[in-house]
């Protein structure tokens, strides 16, 4: 029998975000939510099975698919759990790299197969669209990277650095015969040269704005 420690968040914040949230620290990234505690734990069993299936598919040594799963549940109002304080070992970092790669590729595969019409669809006016969720996940990576260091500015620096690198890489990857290609967005023509021009114009405009604000701080 495979036994996993589960930490079940019962805080007001967790409930406000959609229900009880269960975490399985041993399987980094494995979590499930439910409107009731019972639902959360049932969903946790399914989440564990899904994670193990993915790991099994990629050759990891994990319990067999037919091995029963036992949960040792600890209810908590905290968002940081005792296992979180244990330093990551080298072998765990290697496994985490693979797990994160599998997870991101799974997400990209799902998004890549979507019809364009599905991106903006909403169940209701308050619900997130798939495009909203994707943008949130992209922003979250920078947020989590910033949690590795103290201070509030670091997240902003990560974000600015990462987005510029992404844009420059995209420009560099435009084939030579498409560097004059015109695309139209919201009634406006865009070319690679215009993208490069506006990128730098826009940055310099706001850099001047920041300097002006700094001159008044004091």
Question: Which of 93-97, 153-157, 175-179 reaches the highest mean pLDDT?
Answer: 175-179
What's the number of domains the chain is made of?
Answer: 2
Q: Which domain holds residue 53?
A: 2-86
Beta carbons within 10 angstroms of residue 20's beta carbon: 23
- pLDDT reported for residue 216: 85
Last residue in a domain, options 52, 86, 120: 86
Domain assignment present for 207:
yes
Domain assignment present for 133:
no
Domain assignment present for 24:
yes
Which of 75, 104, 87 lies closest to 8, judged by CA? 75
- pLDDT reported for residue 199: 84
pLDDT level of residue 153 (50, 70, 90 thresholds):
low
CB burial string 34-63: b at 16+ within 10 A, e below: beeeeebbebbbebbeebbeebeeeeeebb
Q: CATH number of the domain that 17 lies in?
A: 3.30.2390.10
Last residue in a domain, options 51, 86, 121: 86
pLDDT in tens, 102-146: 888 888 899 888 888 888 888 889 888 999 998 888 888 877 877
Does 198 have pLDDT greater than 60?
yes
- pLDDT reported for residue 8: 96
pLDDT level of residue 9 (50, 70, 90 thresholds):
very high
The encoded tokens of residue 87 equal 């330093």
Domain assignment present for 159:
no
Domain assignment present for 58:
yes
- pLDDT reported for residue 103: 84
Range 61-71 average pLDDT? 91
On the 0-12 / 13-18 / 19+ scale of CB atoms within 10 A, 155 is: middle
Domain assignment present for 144:
no
The encoded tokens of residue 197 equal 């021009």
Mean pLDDT, all residues of the chain: 87
Last residue in a domain, options 86, 101, 129: 86
For the CA atoms of 38, 43, 44, 45, what is the dihedral angle to 10 degrees?
A: 100
Domain assignment present for 190:
yes
Beta strands in 67-114 (DSSP E): 69-76
């Amino acid at each position: 029998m495979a036994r996993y420690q589960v930490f079940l968040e019962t805080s007001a914040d967790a409930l406000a975000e959609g229900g009880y949230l269960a975490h399985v620290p041993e399987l980094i990234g494995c979590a499930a939510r439910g409107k009731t505690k019972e639902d959360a734990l049932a969903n946790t069993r399914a989440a564990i099975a899904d994670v193990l299936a993915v790991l099994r598919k990629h050759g990891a040594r994990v319990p067999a698919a037919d091995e029963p799963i036992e949960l040792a549940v600890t209810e908590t109002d905290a968002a940081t759990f005792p296992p979180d304080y244990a330093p990551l070992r080298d072998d765990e970092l290697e496994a985490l790299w693979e797990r994160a790669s599998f997870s991101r590729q799974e997400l990209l595969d799902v998004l890549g197969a979507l019809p364009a019409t599905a991106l903006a669809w909403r169940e209701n006016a308050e619900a997130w669209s798939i495009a909203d969720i994707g943008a949130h996940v992209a922003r979250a990576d920078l947020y989590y990277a910033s949690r590795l260091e103290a201070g509030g500015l670091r997240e902003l620096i990560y974000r600015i650095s990462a987005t510029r690198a992404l844009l420059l890489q995209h420009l560099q990857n435009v084939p030579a015969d498409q560097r004059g290609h015109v695309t139209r967005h919201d009634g406006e023509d865009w070319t690679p040269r215009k993208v490069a021009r506006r990128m730098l114009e826009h940055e310099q405009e706001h850099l001047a704005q920041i300097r002006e604000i700094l001159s008044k701080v004091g």
